[in-house]
Amino acid sequence: MCSQDAVGGQVLSELFTNRKENIPLHFSEDCLYLNIYTPADLTKNSQLPVMVWIHGGALVVGGASTYDGLALSAHENVVVVAIQYRLGIWGFFSTGDEHSQGNWGHLDQVAALRWVQDNIAKFGGNPGSVTIFGGSAGGFSVSALVLSPLAKNLFHRAISQSGVALTAALFTEKVKPVAELVANLSGCKTTTSAVMVHCLRQKTEEELMETSQKMTYPFLPTVVDGVFLPKTPEEVLAEKSFNTVPYMVGINKQEFGWILPMLMGHQLSENKLDQKTAKSLLWQFYPILKIPENLIQVAADKYLEWTDDPAKKKNMFLDIFADVIFNIPSVMVSRGHRDAGAPTYMYEFEYRPSFVSNMRPKAVIGDHGDELFSVFGSPFLKDGASEEEINLSKTVMKFWANFARNGPKSSQGSLPYGKSKVLPLPSRSRKSATADALETLQRDSWDNCHSSELTDFFRPRLQTPVRAQAGREELDSGWALSLPESQQRYSTGAIPRPPLGCGGSSLKTPKVA
């Protein structure tokens, strides 16, 4: 695996691996390798769909070996390729000029896709049918590759799981402060870019790792480099100048439910959060949220002050993070793709894998990364899965593979288990009366319950219906979730999630013709 914090890398691997046994990991700068999984009955003329997996880990940890592609490949008759790319300082250090343009890890991803085009036929894969898919920072990378001119014609479909190119923590336009921080922590002068880069290149792998470990948030983000990304993701989306391949974007029900607070060292008790602690944590997480500083207090007041119930307050607090980091960006990117004419689908995953049940509070269902156990067939590789979990994994693998095989045409009719399906994002020209009614409801609710400052911040980014109470009928303006009936909860669209109405009152489902 690529150079990274050894403890963090091992912990992440053990949390998300679909392997029966944890494997010891080895880290090195010599890491640009990939793993290929193929069905056993290949022939010379096999032309199977290819699914290229890009791992997550905030662009600082993670690796290909965490994920065993055996079950997905064998069950769905596809070729699975898991790639690696440089991380942290090695993969994303940038001075914003010719001395260190940055995005080296993304260039590794492009190189891997070029390798697939040149060589995958020898492994029974079809270079004309390549789907890239990734989770978290891997989903962010997939989204960035869709926007990059360098990756054009290297893949034909894309799936982003809990991460897109507008995920603020993984992208910055302010390059110099990050570069100078790395240089200062490494004992390098910051007089010029050339001086910084020359000094850092003299450092050993161990010294650079020590620098990374000194950083409070060791994120070295993606930047506009003029090569991989010619402009900001927002600008590329607005100009519609990207690869308009069929695209599926997903989020999980509780993206900030347990694992991310735990990894960041802020594990919350299951049923307690007071206003003072919530505000303190918002300020601590400011570098990740990237809400304007003047809105931190406003967000805390408007999200949290409507209830004194500590459990509800905690859930609303977690919703702020889920909405800002994952949910709002995912809908924004999806709408950008839809408006550019790309077939665009969204899903929401809500299931509690048995493999993590002993680690987290019972109330957390659909945490960040939970879909990985179904996508990679964990019930077929690990012990203890229920029949329901096995069937769910079959359903999810079938859906992912059919999307890779033929795009959205085959996927929507391929979910035999329960009432599961994923809904397309309606085009602007065909918006239904239901969608209009819900958007009106959302705008009125948001304006009535939130200050003008918050409205001005969120509305340009997203205007969709708020998420309503459990039991709302399935509506065509949102998306549903691939789940067995016993766990089925339809989501009708709907992010951000401010309090339902003002002062805790519920919203009513609008009547539409």
- What share of the chain in percent tops pLDDT 70? 77
User: How far apart are alpha carbons 292 and 31 in whole angstroms?
Assistant: 38
Predicted local distance difference test score (pLDDT) of residue 439: 39
Structure tokens at 20: 């029966």
Predicted local distance difference test score (pLDDT) of residue 407: 74
Question: Among residues 73, 100, 136, 162, which one is catalytic?
Answer: 136
Select from 330, 412, 406 the least CA-distant residue to 368: 330
Structure tokens at 112: 């891997």
User: How far apart are alpha carbons 38 and 28 in whole angstroms?
Assistant: 26
Half-sphere exposure (CA, 13 Å, Cβ side) for 279?
A: 13
DSSP, res 2: B
Task: State pLDDT tens for residues 407-457.
Answer: 755 444 444 333 344 555 554 443 433 333 333 333 333 344 344 444 444
| CA 23 to each of CA 353, 406, 437: distance values in angstroms, whole numbers, following the listed order | 21, 35, 52
Among 30-39, 293-302, 336-345, the minimum mean pLDDT is found in 293-302
255 classed as catalytic = yes
Question: Among residues 368, 389, 393, 450, which one is catalytic?
Answer: 368
pLDDT value at 509 more than 90: no
Taking each helix axis from N to C terminus, what angle separates 137-147 and 104-119, rounded to the nearest 10 degrees? 70
Biggest CA pair distance of the chain: 69
User: How far apart are alpha carbons 24 and 394 in whole angstroms?
Assistant: 29
Phi, psi for 161 (deg, rounded to 5): -105, 110
Banded model confidence at residue 495, pLDDT cuts 50, 70, 90: very low
Neighbours of 277 (CB within 10 A): 17
Q: Which residue has the higher pLDDT, 249 or 444?
A: 249
pLDDT value at 462 more than 60: no
Q: Which residue has the higher pLDDT, 356 or 100?
A: 100
Residue type, 183: A
Among 249-253, 322-326, 393-397, 484-488, the minimum mean pLDDT is found in 484-488
Banded model confidence at residue 466, pLDDT cuts 50, 70, 90: very low
Q: Which of 184-188, 410-414, 462-466 has the highest mean pLDDT?
A: 184-188
Q: Which residue has the higher pLDDT, 237 or 312?
A: 237
Residue type, 192: T
- What share of the chain in percent tops pLDDT 90? 53
Select from 153, 160, 128, 108 the least CA-distant residue to 50: 128
Burial class of residue 199 in the structure, from the number of CB atoms within 10 Å of its CB (0-12 exposed, 13-18 middle, 19+ buried): middle
User: How far apart are alpha carbons 252 and 370 in whole angstroms?
Assistant: 8
pLDDT value at 329 more than 70: yes
What pTM was estimated for this model as a whole? 0.82
Tokens 């989204």 correspond to what residue?
143
Predicted local distance difference test score (pLDDT) of residue 408: 59
Q: Give the mean pLDDT of 71-82.
A: 97
List the strands of the sheet with 125-135, edge to edge: 34-37, 79-83, 48-54, 125-135, 157-161, 247-252, 344-349, 423-424
Select from 96, 94, 61, 58 the least CA-distant residue to 209: 61
Looking at the chain, how many residues does it have?
513
User: How far apart are alpha carbons 242 and 238 in whole angstroms?
Assistant: 10
Percent helix, strand, coil in the chain, to 5, is 45, 10, 45
Q: Give the mean pLDDT of 41-51.
A: 88
Q: Give the mean pLDDT of 101-122.
A: 97
Banded model confidence at residue 244, pLDDT cuts 50, 70, 90: very high
Among 121-125, 355-359, 481-485, the minimum mean pLDDT is found in 481-485
Non-local CB neighbours of 171 within 8 Å, separated by 6+ positions: 165, 221, 222, 223, 232, 233
Phi, psi for 320 (deg, rounded to 5): -55, -50
Find the radius of gyration of the CA atoms of the chain.
22
Task: State pLDDT tens for residues 8-19.
Answer: 889 889 888 998
432 classed as catalytic = no
Banded model confidence at residue 267, pLDDT cuts 50, 70, 90: low
User: How far apart are alpha carbons 78 and 402 in whole angstroms?
Assistant: 10
Q: Give the mean pLDDT of 26-55.
A: 92
User: How far apart are alpha carbons 124 and 87 in whole angstroms?
Assistant: 30
Tokens 């109470």 correspond to what residue?
469
User: How far apart are alpha carbons 399 and 421 in whole angstroms?
Assistant: 9
Question: Among residues 76, 255, 350, 371, which one is catalytic?
Answer: 255
Banded model confidence at residue 270, pLDDT cuts 50, 70, 90: low
Peptide bond into 287 cis (omega under 30): no
User: How far apart are alpha carbons 401 and 39 in whole angstroms?
Assistant: 13
Select from 150, 177, 148, 143 the least CA-distant residue to 250: 143
User: How far apart are alpha carbons 117 and 154 in whole angstroms?
Assistant: 7
